[in-house]
A and B are shown apart, each in its own frame.
Chain A
Amino acid sequence: MPVTKPAFNLMVPNRVVPALGVLALALVWLLDVGSIQPNRIVPGTGHGLLSAVGWLGAGLVTLTLAASILISVLPLRRRYSLLLGVVGLSLAALPLLLDMFAGRHLPEASPYARSTIASGFWCLLFLLSLMLIEILSRLRAGRALQLMLLVLIVGSWLVLLRGDGLASLSLVREFNARPDKFEQALWTHLALAFGAVAVSACLAFVLALKMIRSPAWQRPLLGAVSFLQTIPSLAVFGLLIAPLGALSSAFPLLQSLGIRGIGWAPALLALIAYSLLPMVRNTFVAITEVPENLADAGRGMGMTERQLFFQLKLPLALPVIIEGVRITTIQAIGLTAVAALIGAGGFGGFIFQGLGQAAMDLVLLGALPTIALALLADALFTMLADSLKPTPAAT
């Protein structure tokens, strides 16, 4: 049984990668890959694959996709390693397409002209990422390999985007117009999201302990935190404006601290309220689900209840608590973007400013880093939780 399984996996052709590959080929040839805008607001003229990157670029894209389709159906021994190489490299080299496009089409004499990424390129990026996910799950890749690939791809994107060839890319232009604001937005975003997670983690710990000590509190407390979670974020932000505004005008001390109806104070409060449900639930479940026979064994060894809690229950509960922190952090990163509506700053500021000015690249400059932060938080906390899980050898 253990001998036949890997051979079976390797020799059976993969149907998923060809399906994605054919779709990618169709979309990249049918849709516009990029467009050239004379300035920031005027809509651009689109270019299909052939017109955008010429025969060389179009041939490379087509060949790469055809190769990945062929590798997945031919009876090859190291199919998934080969595929990983092809797809990983093409993902890392994808910005070169934009480089070629800008080089061929950007008018020399107009300093405001900019190249924009169009739907064909986004589709190619999306489908290649799906292929990568499929290949990694077939290879049963470990966290280390996944992280290495991610660093390689993201690193190559950052290097290529910083190069001269892509300085005309509208996304890069929007960034270059406000590097200080971008950095400030990053720190505000992180401070708000992680501040809320940290405060709610401490609160949730206390609440969970209270629920364990006095079971009568369980229903009302869980009910209250899940009630908070039900109210949409925009409503919570809106409802906090009036009371905080009134408090701030009644107490000048609060006002001097920067606590007002709009700004970081209502944002942080709302974020904490939202973070409580996943935190309290996971912390409570994690601690109560430590097997009673382990606790008995600890008692038998002469541990006090305090020792039992800190040396046995808490370490065992930690992976589930971290899982709660992961969910909460992802949620808080997204909600912080909404909080920009009440003037809290962060990447949401770019999103809503861009929507207001119909400047789509500014919207992207806010949305893409928000997504990247959420994915990064997800990856890091998953790794942390995995590394804290007790291994069979240790028990």
Chain B
Amino acid sequence: MNRRNIPSLIIIISTAIAMASGFLVLGGYFFAQNTNGQASLLSDIRLTLLNWAIILAGFAIFIGIINLSQVHFKKIQNKQKGAFYSLLLIVSLAATFLFGLFKPGQVEIVFTTVQLPVEASLMALLAITLTYASIRLLRRRLNLLSVIFLVTALLILLGTAPLPFVGDIPGLSDWVRPFIAQVMAAAGARGILIGVALGTLTTGLRILFGSDRPYGGNK
């Protein structure tokens, strides 16, 4: 066989395996029971394939961490901007790894005392970022939809958080806010979710047919 044909052959084989696996999992989902009410063969195959996928995803995390380290080692090596933070990341990664190795029962201390507070601060930062972005929205896109967006956000905020010394605003807290949140927003959200579900279905079908191949290289 010509060596040049090997990548094409790999693509054909990987596509065939992916399509077969996809159809088997889909079949196992729809025909999970046989007429006796017991789990069907397709259902067993589906569970086996999904278990394999979960094991592979576990290995992928290991590869991902190697990739993360590579990116930051490269930054340190090339003395790029932010190399100090990369060094901090590598040291923290190694320290957490060693801590987990020698004190496996207490590794969650790292997450509760470092990771969680840092993420909570990012969440707080997000509140400021969103407020600032909402103010800039009118400057960036001055149209009717942006005005409706901001007015709705303001009404929901006023209706949700009671004002100091005033408390709940009559009419706003007990009528306007529930109407917007439970009728208008819920109706709009359902419409968007139906659209997302249809998009998910067609994306899945394109991958099943091998039109989109996020594996083995697209050609």
A and B, one complex?
Answer: no
The chain B residues found within 8 Å of chain A, CB to CB, are: none
Residues of A at the B interface (CB closer than 8 Å) are none
